[in-house]
């Protein structure tokens, strides 16, 4: 998959919120989250693996998410993530900030 039209510079700062949004729906794991993002954006956007996994590290260190190994009997192992109560609060806060940011930037450009 090539030719992603949105430069990640503009999405920078939203990576964590995007991940949290996915985990608000259900527990999930890196690979699935990224596929889901690609699907939801019709291939316009994807997280680079290093970006995705380093975001997981930050979010887990900050207790916004928790991880556990899936019990796959077949296929590659999966590390599942679950959003915590704090994570849900952060998600709501970030969503509000996004609405504010949209207004702000719209007023400036």
Partner DNA sequence: GCAATATACCTTGACAGGCGAAGTAAATAT
Partner DNA sequence: ATATTTACTTCGCCTGTCAAGGTATATTGC
Q: Is 43 exposed, middle or buried (0-12, 13-18, 19+ CB in 10 A)?
A: middle
What residues are paired with 65 via a beta bridge? 83
Instruction: Provide the minimum distance between the beta carbon of 105 and DNA in the complex, in angstroms, as a whole number.
Output: 12
Using CA of residue 21, residue 25, residue 26, residue 29, what is the dihedral sign?
Answer: negative
Q: How far is the CB of 82 from a second copy (least distance, A)?
A: 18
Half-sphere exposure of 106 (CA within 13 A, CB side): 6
Rounded least distance, CB 108 to a second copy, Å = 5
Tell me if 99 contacts DNA by CB under 7 A.
no
Query: Which of a second copy, DNA, none does residue 105 bind to, with CB < 5 to 8 Å depending on kind?
Result: a second copy
42, burial (CB in 10 Å: exposed 0-12, middle 13-18, buried 19+): exposed
Binding site for a second copy (CB under 8 A): 5-7, 9-14, 17-18, 21, 37, 40-41, 44-45, 94-95, 97-98, 100-102, 104-105, 107-109
Which stretches of the chain bind DNA, using CB under 7 A? 8-9, 11-15, 29-32, 47-51, 53-58, 72, 74-80
């Amino acid at each position: 998959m090539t030719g992603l039209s949105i430069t990640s510079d503009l999405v920078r700062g939203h990576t964590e919120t995007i991940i949290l949004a996915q985990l608000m729906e259900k527990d999930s794991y890196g690979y699935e989250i990224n596929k889901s993002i690609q699907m939801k954006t019709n291939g316009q956007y994807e997280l680079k693996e290093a970006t995705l996994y380093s975001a997981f590290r930050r979010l887990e260190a900050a207790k916004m998410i928790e991880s556990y190994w899936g019990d796959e009997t077949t296929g590659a192992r999966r590390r599942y993530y679950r959003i915590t109560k704090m994570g849900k609060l952060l998600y709501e806060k970030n969503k509000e900030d996004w609405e504010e940011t949209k207004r702000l930037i719209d007023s400036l450009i």
